[in-house]
A and B are shown apart, each in its own frame.
Chain A
Amino acid sequence: MAYDYQAVHALDGTIGAVPGQRANHLAVHRATAIAVVLAAPGHGAEAAGILVADGAFEARFCGPGEWLVLSEVHAPETLVAELSVRLGAFAFVVDQSHGRVALTLSGPDAARILANGIAVDLHPGAFAVGRAATMLCNHLSVNLARTGVDRFDLVVMRSFAEAFVADLKVMARSHDLSVDFATR
């Protein structure tokens, strides 16, 4: 018997959008291609080199020899194949496009909002543009990447996305924050 499966975003119906484009904005991406890349033992440098050399991949550090790779160029259906063919035996690749949710927090208070839940120093001198790491935000583990002075990408596990957005709204209570799905 054949089934039709339909992709439903983890936050469909539960995002609790705060409309408008306020000073600070949290955009939830609808279909982001995400994969986890784990370097084969002893091949961390080769895998890192291949990821950095290809502009279609955004590699975010998770741990030694391990990255979350996001792509706006490749579709969720093709990212794993694109990565596998380039990385070959240097790394293992697992699709996470439907396993994680990617969000972008931007605005002049972005770092202050995050500081209400994250204990890592987010001053641009300590956590520079281009850096990424996995860290605790309240009780949830998130991968945080600084893509600009006032702009952060956050990647959480799908089942935590609803609680995470609720947390961010509380963290931003004394700041002006709008929340919605990204339009792109």
Chain B
Amino acid sequence: MHDTTDGPRPAVELQGVVKRFGDRSGTEVTAVDDLDLRIADGEFFSLLGPSGCGKTTTLRMIAGLELPTAGSIRIHGEEMGLRPPNRRPVNTVFQNYALFPHMTVAKNIGFGLEMRKVPTGDRAELIDWAIQLVEMGALAHRKPGQLSGGQQQRVALARALVNRPEVLLLDEPLGALDLKLRQQMQHELKTLQREVGITFVYVTHDQEEAVTMSDRIGVMHDGRLLQVDTPEAIYERPTTRFVADFIGQSNFLEATVASADEVVLANGQRLRLSSDSPSGEAVAVTVRPERLTVHRRGEAPAGLHHLEGRVETVTYLGNAIVYGIGIDWMHLDVRCPATLAVERRDVGDEVTVSFEPRHAAVVTG
């Protein structure tokens, strides 16, 4: 795994963090398993993974709402140890917002300032700033129960940001919103993060959301961090089958590593692709459907990797056509732009599928 943060003092640093939950019957759940992570100052970092993979637990440990079973959590170099949440320089936007139902919007936003005993004058000014920031001016005197989901989300955001935390933790803050509002809020959140320059740690199970908003993404699975990279690198160069599959769609060709720069496909065909795995290891070659091209049999340009097959299905999607291609031992999806310039194939056509070596990745798992 490669880590692009080489700054002197990462905003958040997790080292060997483990969290186990025990229950009454004595069975233990390892929610977070040996997590190492450095998040740079001012970064928009997303923790991405399916439900139950340990994202919330990780976030709660940074916030101090949960203590790690083992490992160390540092914020701007300072060890958090057993510090309670109120003495950590972070704030959280909770998944269900956790707005105080008995307080007005303004009181909710001012709560953190009040608890830190910020003088009343400064407090009013900061509350104003935060209310303007999320455009909630007209509703400052409403109670949370009188707000829509999107409005509540803004209040939760303002309530956290008004404290100018060193790190803002967000737990699926857009999960409760409908698609259209969610996309709008994604954009606004990203803009806001650039404006205020605060480090965001953003938890989501929505890969599109993570890819759209993040500077870097950490993909989690079963309590483990599988890969930490830029959205592009995660998409183009996944290191595990899980990551390739979770981020968008992909084709997987079973293969065995022959040497450091060659793999053998299940049909014996050799491909020059480099991998980190030792010879003899079972791997998969993954290529995104849109990185594959279909040619009439034998007409594929040289210099590319070729696979021979037959068109089995043709699905017209408006802006694209997806061909289902049967090769000897498996099935591939190929996605082509549906322009007039591209020649159409029909079911039963004998074809050659090609791809550039740099568009294929060798993944394990």
Q: Do A and B originate from a single complex?
A: no
